[in-house]
Amino acid sequence: MRDTGADDGAVEWLVSVAPDPAACRLEWERNPLGVVLLPAGGRWDVLILPGRLGFPALEVLRRRIDRPGPVLADFGDERTGFFVPPGTAERWVGTGMRAAGRGTWIVVPYPGVATGGVRWVVPPDGAGTLNDPVLLELALHEAAAGLARGDGR
């Protein structure tokens, strides 16, 4: 196992969605880039937002709750990915947003490893905590209003 400070529970929670969790974990730990492709739609969906909206929305969430659910950032594409309950992707609609649910795969870095521009902004807690879609929607509205006002909140 890597010495990244990663929580074993977080690693187990993530690889549990892989078709072969043991092989996935082994590949993940051997892969120098520290990334694997994991299927969405099982334990979680991912809402993918432009960074200019996702980062301010995350800040709103952080002001409202102790700990948001997992959030990925891809600095190469300037996108954020909020992990939400399965089924959310089927119902989510928004300009400039994408939703990854059943039948899609997500590039996921090993917790504690930043690689190729992809890193955890909020790592998984290992207990399965996800972002509440209702709270996320409210945070997105507040963030968008802040951007429209020019204050970034």
Question: What DSSP assignment string belongs to 73-109?
Answer: EETTTTEEEEEE-TTHHHH---TT-EEE-TT-EEEEE
pLDDT of res. 153: 46
Q: What is the DSSP string of the chain?
A: ---S---HHHHHHHHTTSSSHHHHHHHHHH-TT-EEEEESSSS-EEEEEEHHHHHHHHHHHHHHSS----EEEETTTTEEEEEE-TTHHHH---TT-EEE-TT-EEEEEPTT--BTTEEEEE---SS-----HHHHHHHHHHHHHHHHHTS--
Euclidean distance between CA atoms 127 and 31, whole angstroms: 25
Domain count, the chain: 1
Report yes or no on 101 lying in a domain.
yes
Res. 42 pLDDT band, cuts 50 70 90: very high
Stretch 109-131: mean pLDDT, rounded?
Answer: 89
Res. 61 pLDDT band, cuts 50 70 90: very high
Report yes or no on 47 lying in a domain.
yes
- The pTM of the full predicted model, rounded to 2 decimals, is 0.90
pLDDT of res. 113: 79
Stretch 118-129: mean pLDDT, rounded?
Answer: 93
Domain of 132 in residue numbering reads as 8-149
Report yes or no on 57 lying in a domain.
yes
Stretch 14-42: mean pLDDT, rounded?
Answer: 90
Report yes or no on 1 lying in a domain.
no
Asked if pLDDT for residue 31 goes beyond 90, the answer is no
Report yes or no on 77 lying in a domain.
yes
Euclidean distance between CA atoms 115 and 31, whole angstroms: 11
Asked if pLDDT for residue 135 goes beyond 70, the answer is yes
Stretch 112-137: mean pLDDT, rounded?
Answer: 91
Report yes or no on 60 lying in a domain.
yes
Asked if pLDDT for residue 140 goes beyond 90, the answer is yes
Report which of residues 29 and 20 the model is more confident about. 20
Percentage of the chain with pLDDT > 90? 67
